[in-house]
């Protein structure tokens, strides 16, 4: 199932897409990676979905990635005597330490870290910003505020504090339990919610210990302020525009999105654009034209992946939503202007052999009609660094490690294949020729360019590039057999 597009699709699984048949339909429609949202569902639900994805993966014969999305710390108000109260604009309202049920004038706020961080002039946002309060004074017992809008506040609604950096752990006890469970299943990516600083990522990595790659969801202004240090330590980022749009002005979100995509691409870290991309397809079979343009914008910018949330998890048209997103991506990538805009900000190369070979492959792909750039990699780093320069040719990544192949399912332009170990340059050329033939990448006499590292199996040692011409491909393919993909292969 060679994809005819470079930008990947991340689809969320849920009540509308939990069966093996439904997941297979989503994969055939275009989903490359599946997201398990641990804000909803039980461990048993997620284990069943994980097993179904792996069964579909084996049936399709190509690696499929699985990402778990941790809920993160949730800040909420307490309860009300009447369950809810209407608040008027200009009314004063107190968030306090009294655990008694609230009324029209006050409510319990069970988060001492908010009391410690807020200052007069800051804002408290309730229920995804539907209610906004300006902080007047802060004491040990009460945060006195003024309501800026009229609205209803009800039991256990969420609280956001956009201007304050909270001294709160990025991983709640629930997250730690969910994380260990997800790792026991053998997932490929872990998405961290409400990251504020690089230390949040490092804390999670100390628990994960290399068993999965780590993605930071950028959904707080503090994360945007600390983005350089976060990108340095994380494996990928997600532009989580829903919560980001709550905690900062909506008109700022497009600018932040473009900045995050650019910085991630420059660092060679995958970047996912998420939230409300085809929101109307939760209930209708077609998106709005604005939504189609939204997906296309991410593709024009060169994002690695675009994500569907409720559209594929609980909507009425999950397969149609994935198929529509794939159609928009393919049509956008076919526009000659897309490559010009994507490459308007050229990636800065580091002074190392891998980046030098990546730059060379990009140049070769502009000169020769390559069938593919083939990488032989043990860690996936070579494929990612070549993807970073966004070459014209497809990138075929060969690895003996099934975990690496699955993680690369998220990376722009990369098709992964589990291959046999290579012992020599001749082995690499033979394996690359067979794999490219099997993927249909050698049609019309197109040559391959092969990148690898000597000594073999040593991560970060990419130092070899070879152009393989059609006559060599035919000769190698007539005497060798490629390694079939095995979903259960050992790491």
Catalytic residues: 35, 76, 217, 275
Mutual orientation of helices 318-333 and 289-301 as an angle, nearest 10°? 50
Q: How far apart are CA 179 and CA 341, in angstroms?
A: 38
Q: How far apart are CA 317 and CA 321, in angstroms?
A: 6
Give the pair of three-digit tokens for residue 156.
């256990």
Residues 6+ apart with CB under 8 A from 98: 106, 108, 141
Of 277, 315, 280, give the one whose Cα is nearest residue 299.
277
Residues 6+ apart with CB under 8 A from 406: 63, 64, 65, 66, 188, 416
Q: How far apart are CA 129 and CA 477, in angstroms?
A: 60
CB of 2 closer than 8 Å to CB of 395: no
Q: How far apart are CA 82 and CA 203, in angstroms?
A: 41
In angstroms, what CA-CA distances link 356 with 172, 345, 396, 397, 424?
Answer: 42, 18, 19, 18, 22
Q: How far apart are CA 26 and CA 207, in angstroms?
A: 32
The arrangement of strands across the sheet holding 372-376 comes to 414-418, 395-399, 372-376, 448-453, 462-468
Owner of token pair 């275009």: 30
Number of H helices and E strands in the chain, helices first, is: 18, 21
3-state secondary structure at position 50: helix
Of 386, 371, 365, give the one whose Cα is nearest residue 451.
386
Q: Which residues of 31-56 are buried (b: 16+ CB within 10 A; e: fewer)?
A: bbbbbbbbeebeeebbebbbebbbeb
Give the pair of three-digit tokens for residue 167.
């001294």
Q: DSSP letter at 460?
A: T
């Amino acid at each position: 199932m060679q994809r005819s597009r470079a930008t990947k699709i991340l689809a969320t699984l849920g009540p509308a897409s939990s069966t093996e048949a439904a997941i297979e339909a989503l994969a055939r429609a275009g989903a490359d990676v599946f997201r398990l949202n641990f804000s909803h569902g039980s461990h048993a639900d997620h284990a069943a979905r994980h097993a179904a994805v792996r069964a579909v993966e084996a049936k399709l014969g190509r690696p499929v990635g699985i990402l778990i999305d941790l809920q993160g710390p949730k800040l909420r108000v307490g309860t009300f005597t009447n369950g809810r109260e209407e608040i008027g604009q200009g009314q004063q309202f107190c968030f306090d330490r009294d655990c008694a049920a609230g009324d029209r004038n006050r409510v319990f706020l069970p988060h001492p870290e908010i009391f410690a961080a807020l200052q007069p002039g800051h804002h408290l946002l309730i229920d995804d910003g539907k209610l906004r309060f300006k902080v007047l004074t802060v004491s040990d017992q009460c945060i006195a505020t003024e309501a800026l809008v009229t609205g209803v506040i009800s039991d256990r609604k969420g609280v956001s504090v956009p201007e304050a950096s909270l001294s709160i752990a990025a991983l709640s006890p629930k997250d730690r339990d969910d994380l260990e469970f997800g790792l026991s299943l053998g997932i490929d990516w872990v998405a961290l919610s409400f990251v504020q600083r690089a230390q949040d990522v490092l804390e999670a990595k100390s628990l994960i210990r290399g068993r999965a790659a780590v993605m930071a969801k950028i959904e707080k202004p503090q994360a945007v302020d600390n983005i350089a240090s976060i990108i340095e330590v994380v494996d990928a980022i997600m532009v989580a525009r829903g919560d980001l749009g709550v905690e900062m002005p909506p008109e700022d979100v497009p600018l932040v999105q473009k900045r995050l995509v650019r910085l991630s691409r420059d660092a060679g870290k995958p970047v996912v654009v998420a939230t409300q991309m085809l929101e109307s397809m939760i209930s209708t079979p077609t998106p709005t034209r604005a939504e189609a343009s939204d997906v296309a914008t991410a593709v024009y910018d060169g994002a690695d992946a675009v994500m569907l949330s409720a559209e594929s998890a609980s909507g009425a048209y999950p397969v149609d939503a994935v198929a529509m997103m794939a159609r928009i991506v393919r049509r956008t990538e076919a526009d000659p202007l897309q490559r010009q805009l994507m490459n308007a900000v050229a990636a800065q190369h580091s002074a190392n052999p891998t980046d030098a070979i990546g730059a060379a492959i990009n140049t070769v792909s502009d000169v020769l009609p390559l069938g593919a750039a083939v990488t032989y990699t043990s860690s996936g780093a070579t494929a990612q660094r070549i993807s970073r320069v966004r070459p014209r040719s497809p990138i075929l990544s060969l690895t003996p490690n099934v975990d690496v192949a699955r993680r690369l399912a998220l990376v722009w332009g990369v098709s992964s294949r589990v291959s046999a170990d290579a012992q020599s340059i001749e082995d690499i050329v033979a394996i690359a020729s067979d794999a490219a033939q099997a993927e249909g990448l050698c049609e019309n006499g197109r040559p391959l360019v092969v990148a690898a590292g000597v000594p073999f199996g040593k991560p970060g040692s990419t130092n070899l590039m070879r152009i393989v011409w059609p006559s060599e491909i035919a000769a190698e393919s007539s005497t060798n057999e490629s390694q079939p993909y095995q979903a259960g292969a050992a790491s």
